[in-house]
Structure 1
Amino acid sequence: MPDDEPKWRRRKEARPGEIIDAALEVFAEKGFAAAKLDDIARRAGISKGALYLYFETKEDIFGAVARAAVASHLEAIESTAEASDGPFAELAPMLLSRAAGMMSGGRVPAMARMVISESRNFPDLARIWHDDVVAGVIRTVAGIIARAQARGEVAPGDPRLHAFSLMGPMVMATLFREVFGEVGTDPPDLQALAGQHARTALNGLLTSPAEADAADGRRTK
């Protein structure tokens, strides 16, 4: 079947996912500005008219790609936090390892690179990336930290700022890989960074046993 021929036999409910996959490929190859809806429709194997049944604008498609890029990872972080009965000292390395997996390949680095390069000309890209990706991750991690603070495990302070402190090096390393990875540099191993940073960050975030006991005593009074 020719590439530009619509694949009419596919199930209708599968098409949004196929459009998202096609859009990611086109965005990664051409950037947001140069990507055309015709290109995305052709790559997805549908007509441009069929594309409009699911998405009205290129920005709408970008938002769907952004949400899809982190949805499974964010759900895994949330479910891990909810299911874990262990202390924050055990949960934090798991969170950072999950972040390393999310940022090591696939959609997230490609999308982040595009946002950085094109958000000046397309401010909506930064807004969508923030609202649909960054804010959700920070909110989830801040909530985990706040619950650990309530148990007396994490030092006082703004949970959101603690979340930035915890996740910041992973973001920085990802940007380093995306910006300098093709110019002969030695990009950091994100999983190795996650393990080392977990040990370093926990030295500053965790309360001492005495502080934890005092916090527990205040909660039970």
Structure 2
Amino acid sequence: MTKEAGEAAWARARTSREGKDHETRTRLLSCAEDVFAANGYTPATIADITQAAHVSRASFYLYFTSKADIFHAVASAVRDEFLAAHEVPGVDENDPVALGRASSAAFLAAYAQHLDLLTVIEHQALADPAIAAIWTEIQERPRRRVIRYVERLTAAGQADPAADAEAVADAVLGMFAQFARHRITDPVRFENTVDTLNAMYLRLLGIDARRA
């Protein structure tokens, strides 16, 4: 075998190994979310996670150092996904009706998907400063984003909000969270709920959807 062929074979093997490593880590994270969401943080064990993921305890320690470590990774991943729900590429931010509907749908889906785990994260934030920082981001970054958006629309004369921007942001996010607790799985009901949320959102902003 030539040197070049040997290097190519080594590169393929490394790529394959990296792919399997990524797959195993992803499976561990997914199963860990299910375990923590179902059992809570304290009762959950590494054995529960490895059993659900069909991997050995030794394999677990190739990727994570402890239960706390994988919980932090799970919470971080949920935070990233949750915050990404507030980014709606392809939607004109100057169109509050379209943006409101897209944001309502994304937020409702993300919140409902991770509802049980969010409760666990909130509880664990009381005891773990690192998780508390993640929980603060989940709560505050969307809130600040809504505040800035309401202020921008108001300054541009596009909105006449029912209250100050902070109060509107609190009302909007609280409303979304409450509706997410219904765990809507029926597609038609989901779309109807999004329409309802968007109508309420626009009313809070003082925007007439028929004229926007």
**Paired position in structure 1 for 2:69:** 60
CA contact (8 A) 1:41 1:47 kept: yes
Once the two structures are TM-superposed, the CA of residue 36 in structure 1 deviates from its matched residue by 1.0
Q: What is the distance in 2 between the residues matched to 1:92 and 1:173?
A: 15
Distance 1:168 1:9, change over 3 A: closer
Q: CA 1:195–1:70 in structure 2 vs 1: closer, same or farther (change >3 Å)? A: farther
Q: TM-score, normalising length from structure 1?
A: 0.65
- Cα distance between partner residues in 1 of 2:60 and 2:66: 10
Aligned with residue 22 of structure 2, among 13, 21, 31 = 13
Partner of 1:142: 147
* Displacement after TM superposition at 1:76 (Å): 4.7
* Unaligned ranges ≥5, structure 1: 1-7, 182-188, 209-221
Residues 73-112 of structure 1: matches in 2 within 5 Å?
74-80=83-89, 83-104=91-112, 106=113, 108-112=114-118
Distance 1:16 1:153 in 2: 46
- Distance verdict in 2 for CA 1:76–1:92, change over 3 Å: same
Contact 2:82 2:138 in 1 (8 A): no
Question: Following the alignment from structure 2 to structure 1, what is the Cα–Cα distance between the partners of residues 166 and 199?
Answer: 20
Per-residue CA deviations over 1:101-151 (Å, capped at 9, x if unaligned) read 2233x3x112124346x4487455861552352233323433433443343
Deviation at 1:206, TM superposition (A): 2.9
Match of 2:177 among 164, 171, 182: 171
The number of residues matched between the two structures is 188
Residue 65 (structure 1) shift: 1.9
* Partner residue, 2:9: none
Please report the TM-score for the alignment, with normalisation by the length of structure 2: 0.67
How far off is 1:94 after superposition? Answer: 2.0
Q: What's the CA shift for 1:20?
A: 0.7
Alpha-carbon distance in structure 1 between the residues aligned to 2:132 and 2:145? 19
Q: Is the 8 A contact 2:151 2:165 kept in 1?
A: yes
Change (3 A) 1:165 1:42: same
Letter paired with 1:172: Q
> What is the rounded CA distance, in whole Å, between the counterparts of 1:54 and 1:67 in structure 2?
15
1:196 equivalent to 2:196? Answer yes
CA RMSD of aligned residues (A): 3.6
